[in-house]
Amino acid sequence: MLGDEDASLLDIVDNVLNKGVVITGDITIALAQVDLIYARLSLLLCAADRVLPSEDPDPMLRRRARRARRAPANRGA
């Protein structure tokens, strides 16, 4: 995965964010051996550009694109 040389924490975090990782777990809250609450949890940890590849990293360009999409709708009203 990372190679034979020593990997720094930054290398490990970078690799995890590039590939992504899913952490799952179950939680049960019980009283007197009666299950009261059961929850199944899943956590997806990855870089945002993996989940939203079409998003532009520049916030000003995103804002202009949103305004351009809204402009035709506002003219028709």
DSSP secondary structure letters along the chain: ---SSPPPHHHHHHHHHHH-EEEEEEEEEEETTEEEEEEEEEEEE--HHHH-TTS-S-HHHHHHHHHHHHHHHHHH-
pLDDT greater than 60 at residue 46? yes
Domain with 69, as residue range(s), is: 9-76
Domain count, the chain: 1
Task: Please give the average per-residue pLDDT across 49-63, as a whole number.
Answer: 72
Of 37, 55, 35, 39, which is closest to residue 47 (Cα–Cα)? 55
Question: Contact, 45 vs 13, CB < 8 A?
Answer: no
Q: Is residue 17 part of a domain?
A: yes
pLDDT interval class at 1 (50, 70, 90): low
User: What is the per-residue pLDDT for 17?
Assistant: 81
Q: Is residue 63 part of a domain?
A: yes
User: What is the per-residue pLDDT for 27?
Assistant: 94
pLDDT greater than 80 at residue 52? no
Q: Is residue 15 part of a domain?
A: yes
